[in-house]
Structure 1
Amino acid sequence: MSATSVGFQTTQYFTVGAMAVAIFDYCLTISQEIQLIWGRRWDATRVTFTLARYVTLAGAAMTTYAAVVDRSKYTSCATFNNVSYASHLISIIAAEGLLIFRTFAFWHQNKKLLAWLLVLAAICIAGSVGVTKVVNILHPAPTMNTTGCVFASGKSSAIQYCFLILYELVLMVLMIHKILNFYEGARSRIITTLYRDGMIYMTCIIMASIMNIFVALVVPVAYTDIMDAPQLVIHGVLASRILFHLRQSRRSESPNIFPLADMYRTPDAGETTTGSYTTFVSVHKDISAGDSC
């Protein structure tokens, strides 16, 4: 077996494995989705969650099909590839949208911050798509994939992951800043869950993006899509679980005793204990308002 064949086969294993993880996670969490999501009004959070959840499954299924099915007899796969690319883009944008909603709530529903994050997201999306197209036009790479039916991509895909890492780092910095400067010393399950899941999610997705950049720039062309499906599934699965955990945490906190029994912070110099509790009551209302998270 040639090195190219080994590369394509390894990529198939990773792709099918990612699809299996997506299906397995869906089976594990469908009861949580029914309990925590179904029956609620179709607000921005539910629409974004639905896209992140189900477009991820569709995109992973299309990627798996492209990886395992012999499409050499087809004259062109451009339409299929465009739909698959769109599903990947929508899924990742929706997953990032859930993180934006969480950051928005964490920052006390600061509308200026929300506007800034949305503008930055638009810039990153436009930049990743635009720069990639420009690079492909100016420096077209020699490829065996003239019909688009070979499961492989060019090195320019690394550009998209650079923009994704940039945005994830911004969200991570905002999270760390708020934890260190406002929530330090807080004792609440919802705050702990918010911080823990956010750090785990962003660390995982940044590492997956770094791996994608490495694969795109270093490894042979047969391996260039090895992390395509895994990255998509990581986005969808972890973004969904963040929402589930937040809503479960909020349900478990008694609204009557939440501020006094479960959350406290050592008052700063000149700050009264009552003021400290009043601050955290406001935070709880911000996080819960309108089911933002």
Structure 2
Amino acid sequence: MSLTDLLPPGLSIADALQFFYQAVGDTFAVNLAAGAASTWIAYDICLTFAEEVELVWKAKWSLPKVMYFAVRYYGLAASLLYFLVNSSPSPPFTVCRHWPWYEAFGATTAVAVLFGEGMFVLRLWASYERNKKVLVLIAFCFLAELTSSITVGTIEARTISVMPRPPSFPRALPGCYTLAKVPLRNTLGAWIVNCSVATVFFILMLYRFFTSESFRLELSNVKGNPLAKWFELRHFSPLLYLLLRDGIVYFAMIFFVNALNMALSIRMEGRALEGMGIAWTIAVASVASSRLLLNLRGFIGGDRDARSESLKTTMRFEHPTASGGSRRTAEDWIEMKEERLADVAVLEESSDHHGEA
């Protein structure tokens, strides 16, 4: 088999050379993005490893802990495997034969939707105190996202034909030798669904925080300009600030990577650059989802220490002749802090009654 036999029918040599140079550049860019995404996941693990050992490894086994390890370390393994196979000049055909199915389900769907989005969904449902109506809405959105990913993944995997790599195939084009052109209509719908579901979850999160009793209590105690105090949320309500900040960052990262994939599907249809967002989908899900758990557990431990010191200080310096009203005010403040910690514990336990905060 000669190299010209590998060209699409009716393609001239000049057009074939231009097509070849474009494919080499696209493949290099995709592999560069995959290497950068894998490095980011590994770097984030190194940054938070000590915190992870203290807050996750030493905790009892629970559903959030299992999902954390899955999205963290399986995500790293999936990202590295994606980079190694696609950058290999001669990957084994036994691997390539199942590669489209792995890309569709073992990589993006498993890491980004099943584990990553699953962790955020559990946290969102727990913040609504396991309300059944909210559960129906969240479950519907999550299943819609999962179903669209599985459907599109199945269509793509069945469309792509994997062939043994010809001996004369250029080494400048690494990875598996596949023949397929997945139509835009088969992929665009999934990214639209993913962006829509992320937006719905973000709205639910904002609504819950802005209508919570703790938030309204904090604003009612603000003297002066409430708008100015809003920017000091980190100081007068660190728990609400943490939940709101992490939720916004998670939504922004997930929405951006889904929008990136949707834009690549539209603008780069039929080119290798269309797959550039796959590696970043895995990386964003791994980093953003694991940070949700680490930040929350870190706050629980830190706030417990602060609460302990606060209780000691209140008991030590409260004047014995203080009025009953002042004493009740201090007790009310302590009770409010206890309720906040209980809310955080509910968030941490998610839907697994065996978990521990």
Question: What secondary structure, in the 3-state scheme, does the structure 2 residue paired with 1:42 have?
Answer: coil
User: Compared with structure 1, are the counterparts of its residues 239 and 131 closer, same or farther at alpha carbon in structure 2 (3 Å cutoff)?
Assistant: closer
CA contact (8 A) 1:18 1:233 kept: yes
Query: One-letter code of the match for 2:299?
Result: S
Q: Which moved more, 1:6-15 or 1:103-112?
A: 103-112
User: Compared with structure 1, are the counterparts of its residues 13 and 153 closer, same or farther at alpha carbon in structure 2 (3 Å cutoff)?
Assistant: farther
Give distance in 2, aligned partners of 1:75 and 1:96. 31
Q: Which has the larger radius of gyration?
A: 2
Runs of 4+ in 1 over 4 A off after TM superposition: 131-137, 150-153, 255-258, 273-281
Give distance in 2, aligned partners of 1:45 and 1:153. 39
Query: One-letter code of the match for 2:194?
Result: L
Say if 2:291 is the partner of 1:244.
no
Query: One-letter code of the match for 2:51?
Result: Q
CA contact (8 A) 2:105 2:150 kept: no
1:70-123 residue CA offsets vs partner (Å, 9 max, x unmatched): 247738723234234333222112111111122123223434423542343123
CA RMSD of aligned residues (A): 3.2
Say if 2:211 is the partner of 1:177.
no
Q: Percent identity, aligned pairs only?
A: 18
Say if 2:176 is the partner of 1:149.
yes
Match among 223, 234, 253 for residue 204 of structure 1:
253
- Structure 2 match to 1:99: 120
- Structure 2 match to 1:270: none
Q: CA shift at 1:51, angstroms? A: 1.2
1:211-242 residue CA offsets vs partner (Å, 9 max, x unmatched): 11110121151201111111110111111112
What's the TM-score, normalizing by structure 1?
0.81
User: Compared with structure 1, are the counterparts of its residues 134 and 241 closer, same or farther at alpha carbon in structure 2 (3 Å cutoff)?
Assistant: closer
Query: One-letter code of the match for 1:208?
Result: V
Match among 265, 271, 281 for residue 216 of structure 1:
265
Say if 2:177 is the partner of 1:127.
no
- Structure 1 match to 2:189: 159
CA contact (8 A) 1:153 1:224 kept: no
Give distance in 2, aligned partners of 1:196 and 1:37. 21
CA contact (8 A) 1:51 1:90 kept: no
Match among 22, 29, 33 for residue 52 of structure 2:
33
Give distance in 2, aligned partners of 1:150 and 1:195. 45
User: Compared with structure 1, are the counterparts of its residues 95 and 232 closer, same or farther at alpha carbon in structure 2 (3 Å cutoff)?
Assistant: same
What's the TM-score, normalizing by structure 2?
0.68
Give distance in 2, aligned partners of 1:35 and 1:73. 40
Query: One-letter code of the match for 1:225?
Result: G
Question: What secondary structure, in the 3-state scheme, does the structure 1 residue paired with 2:69 have?
Answer: helix
Q: CA shift at 1:31, angstroms? A: 1.1
User: Compared with structure 1, are the counterparts of its residues 247 and 280 closer, same or farther at alpha carbon in structure 2 (3 Å cutoff)?
Assistant: same
- Structure 2 match to 1:231: 281
CA contact (8 A) 1:49 1:240 kept: yes
Say if 2:129 is the partner of 1:108.
yes
Match among 41, 64, 67 for residue 45 of structure 1:
64
Question: What secondary structure, in the 3-state scheme, does the structure 1 residue paired with 2:98 have?
Answer: helix
Give distance in 1, aligned partners of 2:197 and 2:333. 32
CA contact (8 A) 2:68 2:290 kept: yes
Give distance in 2, aligned partners of 1:131 and 1:82. 11
User: Compared with structure 1, are the counterparts of its residues 12 and 192 closer, same or farther at alpha carbon in structure 2 (3 Å cutoff)?
Assistant: same
Unaligned stretches of 5+ in structure 1?
262-272
1:109-143 residue CA offsets vs partner (Å, 9 max, x unmatched): 43442354234312321133225656998xx6xx7
